[in-house]
Chain A
């Protein structure tokens, strides 16, 4: 056991003595300490510890059954996939697979695996392990394990399982071609296949450990020993302990195949409130935290903390519900687009460094188009267009969420206020409808009873389908339109066999979407992380592929 012996810690304990002693009268037995002489620095050992605060506890440490950022944050330290990302980008890069080759029809991919990699239980990582993982995903048992909150990413990417309600998946087989060569065959082409494999859900897990701690089919796989005590991967850290409700302790994997972690331990704690995370960093309780509130950035900088921005991989938009008249009229939608001053929305309600958006994806996505139709801020033109459309006295319901902060929408109330004044300025009467997040989602995505609304999305991997397909792949109550041409184009683009073909197709779709104008892409807000001054070597990633092996902490 170690206590941090920073000057702050010592002073704090000394000053706290009196008050704590007053409270401790009932537990007077603790006055005597036999270990006081050996309480050493919390960063003892060669590399010390790195304490990071997330917003919640991980749901599970078996990343295949996770879809939340906090589970993935821990999983990225323990596990690695065949495919990673180039540092600081969303582009796929070799990781456990040194290279891959795709057949012309896009159905077969041959992975050449890295040599000399072992799982942390000492077993070899090889082609058999790769096929074991692919087969495990495909054979996910029906029931709770196949539900959307557990195997979400497999369902979205591979679109079906071996058994159960949905067997129309695109996975066909995995073949072991040698110790270090595995061939994956799909039933339909999927150009985003390689990029999708960079998701932590598709990390390689030890077949031996999975077998040893297997969960019976039909049971919740998140409850098993594997997901709580023995998650086994090839990453730079191994699970030390998961002290539920308190922290996850990760120990350095001394047998890691790559550059070994510089810190001895990485500790992840959950602090739900953004303000509490800020306070914990300033007072030295943690070394870094995620999801910095835009309003806290200047305070943190004044306190000498370091702010690191991720490149934005998200988009915030003002959506139109075309089921409500006159939002079904393109002229009205265009008029509203001309009434919105995105620069002002960004400067008044979004973090510094945020760029206005021109389309429904950030510029890091490979299919980002430079040729989309844009709608310049021109309130006079907006008024004229509304008059031409016979909507000079337009009244619109404006739905927005309260008490929520999303990476793409850090302060919805502030964004709403800016937009409301801009829309009022062109003569539109706004009827505000504010709801708490869960209710808001219910109203805007589950019913037709809403008007214009704020929403967005943070992408998972570099594939336009992850944005355009998610938003407009099918008829939804959120948008209220039925556009079979658009739905078909997206379906077709998804099934193209090469990335080049797909990029061309998605660029065209993005351009078409901006003419159809289902909503106004507002901006891609920059998410920020904050660190204590002594923290070095943290590389922010737009898709949060942040592995802490290079992090050092100086007290």
Chain B
């Protein structure tokens, strides 16, 4: 297990190196100029030259890349050219917001998705199945951006049940320790702050979690349907095992493998969806900062954030691979 994990971790090095090259080139191929973006409509040629020299954008691409690689080796991801703040500092300051949002989105998807998928499989062909399948189809095809705006329009503006933006009511003087606002409220016993953060999470989490929910429903339904027809389930039933035990130990556990893989794969979807969701709800996570960085050609932020996201995505997938062993001893790795 440990060797497998270490080997996978070692493989990450060339993957991230390759990505850093691709990113570096891709970002610089984009039209637009960070110096001009920084200085606005009245930028003078001298001012632009000065900024380019300051950040080394005037040097040959290869030289710039070597300098960047030298920084990376020292785990220095540079500083934003927009506000001068180190990329690592802003990333780890904002990342809890995105993780909190993604966690609640996946929680929403799993808590609703597995029971719904299971119910649909057990009642295949019945009305429940039809509703669930149609609903999940709708969930998959609705774009996150559209759904986020729709939810906001109906539940925040028309019905006024939820706030329209941000992570917490700005009037609350909350103490932040970890920057996971819900958790911070619990740790500091400022429960109203925790509650308020939770209320702010509902719409973004539902918007972000809808596609994963739809996918989880479909995969669970398919997987459970398949397992229900397996000989060992029939045998267990025939043996007279208590039905809940059959469902829990034989059906669900075996059906969970593809579902687990799907959940792991959703992480990438969640992170990319977070960019849009955070923008719609002005939810200050990495997504909205990255969005601004793209429009302002903030090279260090773009490079650093995407590398971090790639690293996290890879680590989550590794964790999912390792997690298989918990559900299926046959794939336990050595």
Residues of A within 8 A of B (CB): 1-4, 8-9, 11-13, 15-16, 19-20, 22-27, 29-30, 32-36, 39, 42-43, 49, 51, 56-57, 59-60, 143-144, 147-149, 152, 220, 222-223, 243-247, 249, 267, 269-273, 276, 279-280, 282-283, 285-286, 406, 436-439, 441-442, 445-446, 455-457, 470
Interface string of B78-108 (1 = CB under 8 A from A): 0100111100001001100100000110011
Residues on B with C-beta less than 8 A from A470 are 42
User: Counting CB contacts under 8 A, is B333 at the interface?
Assistant: no
| Contact A445 B43, CB 8 Å, known A267-B171, A272-B288, A273-B279 | yes
| Contact A1 B193, CB 8 Å, known A26-B107, A222-B83, A457-B42 | yes
The residue in chain A whose Cβ has the minimal distance to the Cβ of B106 is A26
State the 8 A-B residue pairs at the shortest beta-carbon distance, nearest first.
A42-B171, A33-B191, A148-B47, A438-B32, A245-B284, A279-B164, A15-B161, A220-B84
Q: What's the least CB distance linking A455 to chain B, in Å?
A: 6
User: Which of A13, A49, A148, A223 is close to B195, meaning CB atoms less than 8 Å apart?
Assistant: A13
Are A49 and B41 touching (Cβ within 8 A)?
no
- Interface residues of chain B: helix, strand, loop or mixed (majority): helix
User: Which of B104, B161, B295 is close to A16, meaning CB atoms less than 8 Å apart?
Assistant: B161
Residues on B with C-beta less than 8 A from A270 are 282, 284
Are A23 and B50 touching (Cβ within 8 A)?
no
Docked CA distance A327–B247 (Å): 80
Residues on B with C-beta less than 8 A from A143 are 54
Are B97 and A245 touching (Cβ within 8 A)?
yes
User: Counting CB contacts under 8 A, is B174 at the interface?
Assistant: yes
Are B32 and A439 touching (Cβ within 8 A)?
yes
Docked CA distance A442–B48 (Å): 11
Interface string of B179-211 (1 = CB under 8 A from A): 000110110011111111011011001100000
Docked CA distance A270–B196 (Å): 18
User: Counting CB contacts under 8 A, is B37 at the interface?
Assistant: yes
Are A35 and B111 touching (Cβ within 8 A)?
no
Are A441 and B41 touching (Cβ within 8 A)?
yes
Are A144 and B54 touching (Cβ within 8 A)?
yes
| Contact A280 B192, CB 8 Å, known A23-B107, A60-B83, A438-B36 | no
User: Counting CB contacts under 8 A, is B321 at the interface?
Assistant: no
Are A438 and B107 touching (Cβ within 8 A)?
no
Are A148 and B39 touching (Cβ within 8 A)?
yes
Docked CA distance A456–B44 (Å): 15
Residues on B with C-beta less than 8 A from A445 are 36, 41, 43
Residues on B with C-beta less than 8 A from A35 are 189-192
Residues on A with C-beta less than 8 A from B279 are 272-273
Q: What's the least CB distance linking B127 to chain A, in Å?
A: 23
| Contact A285 B169, CB 8 Å, known A3-B192, A16-B199 | yes
Q: What's the least CB distance linking B39 to chain A, in Å?
A: 6
User: Counting CB contacts under 8 A, is B218 at the interface?
Assistant: no
Known contacts A152-B39, A245-B284; can you find 18 more A-B pairs with CB under 8 A?
A1-B174, A2-B172, A12-B161, A20-B195, A23-B107, A27-B198, A59-B82, A147-B51, A148-B39, A247-B170, A271-B282, A272-B288, A276-B164, A279-B164, A438-B295, A438-B296, A441-B41, A457-B41
Q: What's the least CB distance linking B71 to chain A, in Å?
A: 16
Please give the number of chain B residues whose Cβ is less than 8 angstroms from any Cβ of chain A in the complex: 81
The residue in chain B whose Cβ has the minimal distance to the Cβ of A241 is B173
User: Which of A27, A147, A276 is close to B280, meaning CB atoms less than 8 Å apart?
Assistant: A276
Residues of B within 8 A of A (CB): 31-33, 36-44, 46-48, 50-51, 54, 79, 82-85, 90, 93-94, 97, 103-104, 107-108, 111, 152, 156-157, 159-174, 176, 182-183, 185-186, 189-196, 198-199, 201-202, 205-206, 279-282, 284, 288-289, 292, 295-297
| Contact A286 B170, CB 8 Å, known A16-B161, A25-B111, A279-B165 | yes
User: Which of A12, A42, A59, A446 is close to B36, meaning CB atoms less than 8 Å apart?
Assistant: A446
Q: What's the least CB distance linking B148 to chain A, in Å?
A: 11
Docked CA distance A292–B24 (Å): 37
Docked CA distance A298–B198 (Å): 33
Are B162 and A30 touching (Cβ within 8 A)?
no
Most buried by B among A8, A282, A442, A446: A442
Residues on B with C-beta less than 8 A from A29 are 186
Are B41 and A4 touching (Cβ within 8 A)?
no
Residues on A with C-beta less than 8 A from B94 are 245
Residues on B with C-beta less than 8 A from A276 are 164-165, 280-282
| Contact A149 B38, CB 8 Å, known A4-B171, A8-B160 | yes
Docked CA distance A457–B43 (Å): 12
6 A/B residue pairs, CB under 8 Å, sorted by A: A27-B183, A32-B191, A34-B189, A280-B164, A438-B297, A456-B41
Most buried by A among B33, B192, B206: B192
Most buried by A among B41, B160, B162, B189: B41
| Contact A19 B202, CB 8 Å, known A272-B282, A280-B282 | yes
Q: What's the least CB distance linking B184 to chain A, in Å?
A: 11
| Contact A436 B196, CB 8 Å, known A1-B173, A35-B189 | no
| Contact A42 B205, CB 8 Å, known A20-B198, A147-B51 | no
Q: What's the least CB distance linking B98 to chain A, in Å?
A: 11
Are A4 and B36 touching (Cβ within 8 A)?
no
Are B192 and A1 touching (Cβ within 8 A)?
yes
Residues on B with C-beta less than 8 A from A436 are 32, 295
Are A442 and B33 touching (Cβ within 8 A)?
yes
Q: What's the least CB distance linking A20 to chain B, in Å?
A: 5
The residue in chain A whose Cβ has the minimal distance to the Cβ of B201 is A23
Are A279 and B195 touching (Cβ within 8 A)?
no
Docked CA distance A3–B173 (Å): 9
Are B282 and A4 touching (Cβ within 8 A)?
no
